[in-house]
């Protein structure tokens, strides 16, 4: 039976009882519909996770008895920072959710020339909070114990000059692929919005040391490009290709 996982910013220690905040309590009570004595896994993003059981679930409070710490991690050995051109509505939400599942460590939403999203008043902070919730829930669902960092919304021109490690940006007109590059321990990926990067932005990225790479012969939508790039770097340099099988475990395809 699958045990529900929940992120909390609260300090966690085995043998301690904690009361969940209002939002998490509502989620446990109304969405998960967990009852007293149900088991639940808690983590606070600092590594590892805790097995607990619910000792009270009511309109007044949801209280968890923390029983056991499990020192587990599913983090890739490859550190990935994604600069993601902001796209509209569900496309951006989908991209943020899936790159977390694929093991990204840091995400920076970027305003680019062809960005079709306008931030007026408090819209910028509201969107950031919305994406942060998506990061949290994707971390819970995917079994990760470390919460990826969602940095503040930035401009492409400011962001590109601050990056380190192997720096690449997706460009359907590039001559090289990711497989042509040397193996890094840290990679910074830059993915454009709908409509891609302008010529000036390509020039800016190259001047900042970003290497243009292409993902095959086809032009990908922004949400497809981010997922394809994360999958490719995890297969080439991360943990997608780490599972080894003996000869008798090999899968035969007929």
- Percent of the chain with pLDDT strictly greater than 90: 73
CATH 3.40.1280.10 fits 79-236, yes or no: yes
Does residue 248 have a pLDDT over 80? Answer: no
CB 17, CB 65: distance < 8 Å: yes
Higher pLDDT, 206 or 222: 206
Size (the chain), residues = 254
3 state DSSP class of 36 = coil
Give 136-170 pLDDT, tens digit per residue.
999 999 999 999 999 999 999 999 999 988 999 99
- What's the confidence (pLDDT) of residue 118? 75
- What's the confidence (pLDDT) of residue 1? 67
**Extents of the domains making up the chain:** 5-70, 79-236
CATH 2.40.240.20 fits 5-70, yes or no: yes
Does residue 103 have a pLDDT over 90? Answer: yes
Does residue 116 have a pLDDT over 80? Answer: no
Residue 54, CA distances (Å) to 17, 193, 198 in order? 10, 43, 53
- Percent of the chain with pLDDT strictly greater than 70: 94
- What's the confidence (pLDDT) of residue 242? 63
């Amino acid at each position: 039976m699958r045990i529900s996982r929940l992120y909390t910013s609260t300090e966690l220690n085995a043998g301690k009882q904690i009361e969940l905040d209002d939002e998490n309590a509502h989620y446990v009570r109304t969405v998960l519909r967990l009852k007293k004595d149900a088991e639940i896994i808690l983590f606070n993003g600092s590594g590892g996770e805790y097995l607990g059981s619910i000792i009270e679930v009511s309109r007044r409070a949801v209280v968890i008895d923390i029983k056991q710490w499990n020192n587990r991690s599913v983090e890739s050995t490859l550190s990935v920072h994604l600069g993601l051109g902001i796209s509209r509505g569900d496309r951006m939400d989908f991209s943020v959710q899936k790159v977390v599942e694929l093991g990204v460590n840091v995400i920076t939403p970027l305003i680019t020339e062809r960005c079709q999203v306008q931030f007026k008043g408090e819209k910028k902070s509201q969107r950031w909070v919305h994406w942060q919730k998506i990061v949290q829930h994707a971390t819970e669902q995917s079994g990760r114990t470390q919460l990826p960092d969602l940095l503040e919304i930035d401009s492409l021109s400011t962001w590109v000059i601050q990056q380190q490690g192997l720096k690449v940006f997706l460009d359907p007109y590039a001559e090289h692929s990711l497989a042509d590059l040397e193996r890094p321990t840290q990679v910074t990926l830059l993915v454009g919005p709908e409509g891609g990067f302008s010529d000036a932005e390509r020039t800016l990225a190259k001047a900042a040391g970003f290497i243009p790479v292409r993902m095959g012969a086809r032009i990908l939508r922004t949400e497809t490009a981010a997922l394809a790039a994360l999958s490719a770097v995890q297969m080439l340099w991360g943990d997608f290709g780490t599972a080894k099988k003996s000869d008798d475990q090999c899968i035969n395809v007929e």
